[in-house]
Amino acid sequence: MPTRTNKWEQPTTLVSSVVTPVVARFAKDADYASGGALDPTPAPPESEVRATMAAVADGKWTIVVANKAGSALTTTHGINRGVPEPDGGRPSPGTMGNGATATLVVPTGWAGQMAFATAGASIIGDESLTEASFIDQPSNPGLAPGDIDVSYVDGHSLPIICRCRADGLFLSGCLDPLGACPTELVNVHGSCKNPKRHETGQVDPHPFFNPCQGRAYTFPEDSKGNTNGKCQSGIVDCEVHPRR
């Protein structure tokens, strides 16, 4: 199989106001999507995973992000502590041009997240995320299901949707209009903070996030937004869209 490499297409001039994101979600010392891609339990049945493992037998999983937001984006990429780096190393914080695509090829054992905001805005922890992992899961030793979700648990900056390239299967995300963010939730960079980010045991999102419930994570235990093992063909396509 041809060697795949990272093609995270960002300029060499980075956005200096971008801060390094929290990357330890799997260690549970930050807000996270409970049961999501960085907390992948329960895993899918072994029979489901084994039936589709051949496509990722090279131990690589690919996430392709397309910027369809109509403007440049600020981006950051974080990984969990102690996991292997993506092929070619971790992409630096920076900007992604309008219409650009970025390819992240990750090895077995990787888990991390990508955050997105309108270019020029700092990423400070209230932004839309993709969260993903390609790790051995305790319930299926020796198997590494690909797992990805779109998370608005921290907040919402831009709508994101992800699909499986092989069959176009919807995986996670939501493009529905959310309306105007309540004034008290707007951060200084224009993202809408999620007031339920710290609350466990919830069954409903804040009303602003309600249209996306069950498709993206809108509160920590909104687990219908997870897609553990549903795209084992090796490539996931995600799109970042403009606010609606």
What does the pLDDT read at residue 17?
26
What does the pLDDT read at residue 144?
79
The H-or-E segment that residue 95 falls in is strand 94-96
Give CA separation, 234 vs 41, 90, 167, in Å.
20, 20, 12
Alpha helices in 60-105 (DSSP H): none
Residue 238, pLDDT above cutoff 70: yes
Residues 200-229: pLDDT tens digits? Answer: 888 899 999 999 999 999 999 898 888 888
DSSP bridge pairs for 147: 133
Tell me the average pLDDT of the chain: 79
What does the pLDDT read at residue 202?
84
The proportion of the chain whose per-residue pLDDT surpasses 70, expressed as a percent, equals: 76
Q: Give the side-chain half-sphere CA count within 13 A for 203.
A: 0
Q: Into which CATH architecture does domain 7-240 fall?
A: Sandwich (2.60)
What does the pLDDT read at residue 41?
52
Total-model pTM: 0.80
What does the pLDDT read at residue 58?
63
pLDDT band, residue 62 (cuts 50/70/90): very high
Give CA separation, 16 vs 98, 123, 155, 183, in Å.
19, 11, 22, 27
Mean pLDDT of 96-108: 93
Least confident of 41-45, 125-129, 183-187: 41-45
Residue 194, pLDDT above cutoff 50: yes
Domain boundaries, the chain: 7-240
Mean pLDDT of 19-26: 30
pLDDT band, residue 126 (cuts 50/70/90): very high
